[in-house]
Structure 1
Amino acid sequence: MASDGDETDEANVLQSKRNATTYQILVEIAKRQPAVSQQEIADEIGITAQAVSDYLQELVSRGYVDKQGRGRYEATKQGIDWLISQTDTLREFVEHVSEDVLDNVGVETAIATTGIEEGETISLTMRDGILHAIAGETNSATAVAVTDATAGQDVGVTNFEGVIDYDLGTVTVVSVPPVHDGGSAAVDAGLVADLADDHDLTAVDTPEGLAALRAADLTPDIQFGTASAVQEAATKGLDVLLLVASTKLSTHTDTFREHNISYEVIDAVSEV
């Protein structure tokens, strides 16, 4: 078996499959010593008896194990120290997964509309594209708070039951001619302003779209990352007015179709 002592000494069992197997074999030796059956170890950890034999030779050469005779092995102090260090690494990793990962699985964040105590059952609603929580079971969508919160604060919620009742938003796309075909100057600013009044958010992509919105004396709510941002907003129930140059229209409409977002394309070119 090729030697890679640096890896065994420096890497931990989470970084090296070889170290993981070494760890398992050393645990079995410590558990069974001094009479160690290579076949029993092989059966226990799922490798061949020959592989166990090769690892045992490696462990002896590293000073982790002493060979006392045929079929008799004992873990040395150096071997036990290595085993302890690897076990400590595993324990830290397990604690991290348990406390920092698994505890957060299935936890969402909402805005509290009332005072809420940790462990309390709360009801959920979607308002302005944001999840809101209210103390008590006031509707069919409920969860359990995992943090305390006062009204207006963020609160962690989990153990969801029921369905939050809200409609998906829609997107109205104003196709703005590219600059060489008139650009924003060709767009009816009054129509854009009227459309904006009927939507929750305005979004632009391309300079032509931004100029057309500004011509209507409006400031965009979304200016960057528009395709994904508009899709996300509509998914959360918001109606969005999007102004985009016709040359990039398909970039957005393809995204909307992919995520089943309802949309329409408006020709807002002025007839004047």
Structure 2
Amino acid sequence: MPTNADDADEFGVLQSKRNATRYQILVQIAERQPAVNQQEIADAIGITAQAVSDYLQDLIEQSYVDKHGRGRYEVTKEGVDWLISQTDELRGFVQHVSEDVIGQVEIETAIATTAIEEGETVSLTMRDGVLRAMAGNTGDATAVAVTDAAAGQDVGVTNFEGVVDYELGSVTIVSIPPVQNGGSSAVDPDRIAELAAGHDLLAVGGVEAVAAAETVGLDPDIRFGSAAAVREAAAKGLDILLLASTDTLSKHTDTLRDQNLSYEVVDVADTS
């Protein structure tokens, strides 16, 4: 329990256990006011009810809390201002940890294209939608290996510098009408086969789309969760042919637009 709350104000929530407790109690009061049960607060933050009572008296003396009768408390404007200032401090610390600490030790996985030793600087490229690492710092993007790896093995890399240079992929969408409007039989199978040959991956969305692929004798690379998977593949530089039944089309196009990924919808109706 703080003997002098003014002294405690010199330290933020992260530096003072006493201020951390005051912060928690004020939050609990704000959530429960005006009817405040001290035992419930004690249980919520893991201290005794007597400690809560002592802190409450201190907070009242500091004009952070007003008492309106037995068991009725309210956080004052001063108390709210103090909560905001401490919350801003916490937010800034979380951002620092996220961006400056965790970001620096973040480890990604790449495929080694040469033998790599732990601690060695590597150059990074993107090929076939997979991050690749080569010993040496000759590329525009570099990192430091945190594991050993032979060529073809996975390798952990961190401490990234530069930007991996690659082009985003594109998505060609074939809309497959609902079964009552012809379904897979309403599209030209030869045109679908021709389009599939010019793309890295084939994705399907909806039963009509699955039937259209099977009619052509194609085995889809992406069948389940296709909206998210297509977005991810295109973001990593792959070109995808997407067969999408009409009822799933908007879900796919909305996902692509949200990520500013290029797509076009082509007409392959069977006119024979």
TM-score of the aligned structures, taking structure 1 as reference length: 0.65
Change (3 A) 1:44 1:238: same
Structure 2 CA distance for aligned equivalents of residues 142 and 121 of structure 1: 7
Equivalent residue number for residue 200 of structure 1 = 200
**What is the aligned partner in structure 1 of residue 269 from structure 2?**
269
8 Å CA contact 2:105–2:159 kept in 1: the answer is no
SS in 2 for 1:213: helix
SS at match of 1:168: coil
Give yes or no for contact 2:141–2:164 (8 Å, CA) kept in 1. Answer: yes
Residue 228 (structure 1) aligned with residue 228 (structure 2): yes
Q: Provide the C-alpha distance between the structure 1 equivalents of 2:232 and 2:207, rounded to a whole number of angstroms.
A: 22
Within 5 A, what are the aligned runs for 1:56-205?
A: 58=50, 102=102, 105-205=105-205
Q: 2:251 — aligned with what?
A: 251
Instruction: Give the letter for the 1:230 counterpart.
Output: V
Cα distance in structure 2, aligned partners of 1:248 and 1:157: 38
Identical amino acids, percent of aligned pairs: 59
Shift of residue 58, structure 1, vs aligned partner: 3.6
**In 2: Cα distance, 1:39 partner to 1:163 partner:** 50
Counterpart in the other structure of 1:17: none
Paired position in structure 1 for 2:212: 212
Please give the alpha-carbon distance, in whole angstroms, between the structure 2 residues aligned to 1:195 and 1:247.
Answer: 22
Q: Distance in 1 between matches of 2:179 and 2:245?
A: 9
Structure 2 CA distance for aligned equivalents of residues 248 and 56 of structure 1: 56
Q: Which runs of structure 2 are paired with 1:31-70 in the superposition (5 Å)?
A: 37-38=3-4, 42-43=8-9, 58=50
Residue identity in the other structure for 2:248 = K
Distance across 1 between alignment mates of 2:4 and 2:246: 72
How far residue 215 of structure 1 moved from its aligned partner, in angstroms, is: 0.9
Give me the CA root mean square deviation: 2.7
Distance in 1 separating the partners of 2:48 and 2:208: 72
Letter in 2 for 1:166: Y
Q: 1:254 deviation in Å?
A: 1.0
| Structure 2 counterpart SS, 1:220 | coil
Q: 3-state DSSP class of the match of 2:138? A: coil
> What is the rounded CA distance, in whole Å, between the counterparts of 2:234 and 2:208 in structure 1?
23
Offset of residue 38 of structure 1? 4.0
3-state DSSP of counterpart to 1:270 = coil
How far does the alpha carbon of each residue in 1:9-53 deviate from its partner, in whole angstroms, 9 at most, with x for none?
A: xxxxxxxxxxxxx6xx6xxxxxxxxxxx545764565779xx8xx
SS at match of 2:260: coil
Distance 2:106 2:142 in 1: 14
What is aligned with 1:239? Answer: 239
Evaluate the alpha carbon distance shift between residue 186 and residue 44 of structure 1 in structure 2; reply closer, same or farther with a 3 A threshold. same
TM-score (norm 2): 0.65
Match of 2:79 in 1: none
> 1:216 offset after TM fit, Å?
0.9
Q: Match for residue 70 of structure 1? A: none
Q: Which residue of 2 aligns with 1:260?
A: 260
* Structure 2 residues not aligned, in runs of 5+: 13-17, 23-46, 52-96
* 2: CA distance, partners of 1:45 / 1:56: 23
Relative to structure 1, is the Cα distance of residues 57 and 221 closer, same or farther in structure 2, using a 3 angstrom cutoff? closer
Aligned residues: 194
Unmatched segments (≥5 aa) in structure 1: 1-21, 26-36, 60-96
Q: Which amino acid aligns with 1:228?
A: A
